Amino acid sequence: MNSLILHTASRLLHPLLLLYAVYLLFSGHNVPGGGFCAGLIGAASFALHTFAHDVPSARKLLRADPHTLIGTGLLFAMGSALLSAFRGQAFMTGLWGGFDLSGLGHVSVGTPVIFDTGVFLVVLGVTLLIIFTLSES
- pLDDT per residue over 91-100, tens digit each? 878 888 878 8
- pLDDT per residue over 42-61, tens digit each? 999 999 999 999 999 999 99
- Look up the pTM and report it: 0.88
d(CA 103, CA 105): 6
Domain boundaries, the chain: 4-136
- pLDDT per residue over 17-31, tens digit each? 999 999 999 887 667
User: Which pLDDT band, with edges at 50, 70 and 90, does 62 fall under?
Assistant: very high
Average pLDDT rounded to a whole number, residues 119-135: 96
